[in-house]
Chain A
Amino acid sequence: MLRNMVDEIAAWFARSFPPQKGLTLWLILMGLIVAYVVIFFGLQLLKPRARKSLIAVVTFLAGLFYALEFFLPTELIDGKETNALTRFLVPMSEFAQIVAVLALGLGIYSLTMIHGKTLLRFRTGWFYSLTFFTFMILMATFGIMVEEPFSREAQINRDIRSILFVGGLQALEGTMFSIIAFYIVSAAYRAFRVRNAEASLLMAAAFIVMLGQVYAGQFLTNWLPTEGALSNLRIETMSDWLLTRINAPAVRAVGFGLGVGLLATALRIWLSLERGSYFDREV
């Protein structure tokens, strides 16, 4: 019944609001912009209590779609478990993606303000700000630039994009993350200096896992047979056993705790029950 109702509403929407082109499209868009402006100033007239309620209602309605889609009973249609709302999952996530991507501008604005001020006032490090802007603009421009598929310009654009992406970004990313290995080791030496049995256990496990993944480590127990009880003492077998039989269940148990915590937090946020500096702030 619910499925029929939702289908009818979707069909009515498709009939009443067909896609438009040309002048009609522009008129509709202009009309919507005017409506936004009116709503915008109308919202400002709301009292603080009503504003809080509005935020709570928007939060609830946004979460309600996914909650309903999850909790409503499903039917097997074309080999897939679906309910009345399943077909709206993709458009809804695309809608959310658009809003989330528009939030990216906040990060760009923030970085632009910080580096822009440094650059315009020639503060210490202005050259690094210039570097930041130069590479950001270059990458964004050559990344977005649309070209005819087989033109000479297209080839040039692809080559420059490849230089920036493969030569620049990928190399920098790989190198930047590889130096973390050195930092982790030095930080670990300071933090987990083998002082007690627990720290010793941690270090021993790390040592076995690391040795099990390199040829030099595997060479140490290479003389042991590959079959039978003694094969369990080979370093790569011990490493694998630690990862799959000790590490995996421990991580899974931590994951269960995290999952339940996430679920509880999600429920609190969805129902606007969460408290704290952000949620209690006056509006």
Chain B
Amino acid sequence: MLDFISANAGAIQMWVAVACTLGIYSILYKENKIYRFFEHAFIGLAMGWTIRTAWVDVLYPNFYQRIFHEGRWWWILALPLGLMLYLIYSRKYNWMARISIGFLLGLSAGQTFQSFAGLYYKQIVTTFKPIVPQAAEGSMKAVTLSGAINNLIFLAIIICVMTYFFFSFEVKSKVVQKTANTGRWVLMIAFGAIFGSTIMARMALFISRMDFLIKQFGGTFVPWLK
């Protein structure tokens, strides 16, 4: 049995992929048992792969191998913190799970300081682009008139949108209100662009599946489909 599977792995893999693709697309007609089967198979496979990744990429090299192969026993200190999370199911001891949760929350809070700097400092710097046309000078690139206008639009949009999200106190100034209102209009365009991009990204996935069904799978039986 296993030898048969191994010998025909390529063909079986293709048939499995075809069954999975068609099974999931069957939902487009209506809710049905075949879709539900593949949906649960997907959850099972995803969970299995997550377990595999957790062991192969984290627990085996960073925990098991270090303690039992390299003898670095102090890594076992991670174990009680991890295991204490499971006390969440105990009525008597569930407060101890909060020690581990607190540890993880504290770490992610600390990491937020670092990621904020890494992510936003550069963005803040690059937001300030030249808004006056100029010739190339030293390491500075030349800025054309259209480039300068685009940079001005870029800066104006950032100010307008940030003003729109300014909720700390009531805004009475007409200028600020108008700026915020412009920010709202710009956000509508931005959301439209995001919406369009998202649909196209999903469409690319759909085309990829169709390509697989028609060209790769269909092409094995009907050569001109390739």
Contact = CB atoms under 8 A, between A and B. Distances in A.
A25 B76 CA distance: 11
B62 A97 contact: yes
Contacts of A92: 107
Interface footprint category on B? 35 or more
B157 A144 contact: no
Contacts of A269: 105-106, 109
Interface footprint category on A? 35 or more
Nearest to B124: A256
Interface string A46-71: 00000100111011111111110111
B44 A134 contact: yes
A233 interface: no
B165 interface: yes
Interface in A97-148: 97-109, 111, 125, 127-129, 131-141, 143-144
Given A247-B189, A250-B161, A19 B73 contact: yes
Contacts of A175: 20-21, 24-25, 205, 209
Interface stretch (A3-11, A72-80, A162-170, A219-227): A162-170
Contact of B16 (A55, A101, A171, A243): A171
Contacts of B114: 66, 69-70
A210 B41 contact: no
B128 interface: no
Interface string A214-250: 1000000000000000000000000000110111111
Contacts of B73: 17, 19-20, 25, 28-29, 32
A12 interface: no
A263 B113 CA distance: 7
Interface of A: 17, 19-21, 25, 28-29, 32, 36, 39-40, 43-44, 51, 54-56, 58-67, 69-71, 92, 94-109, 111, 125, 127-129, 131-141, 143-144, 155-156, 159-160, 162-182, 184-185, 188, 198-199, 201-210, 213-214, 242-243, 245-257, 259, 262-263, 266-267, 269-270, 283
18 contacts: A59-B106, A62-B102, A70-B114, A111-B43, A136-B45, A156-B2, A167-B14, A175-B205, A199-B188, A205-B188, A206-B193, A209-B197, A249-B158, A249-B161, A253-B160, A266-B112, A266-B113, A267-B109
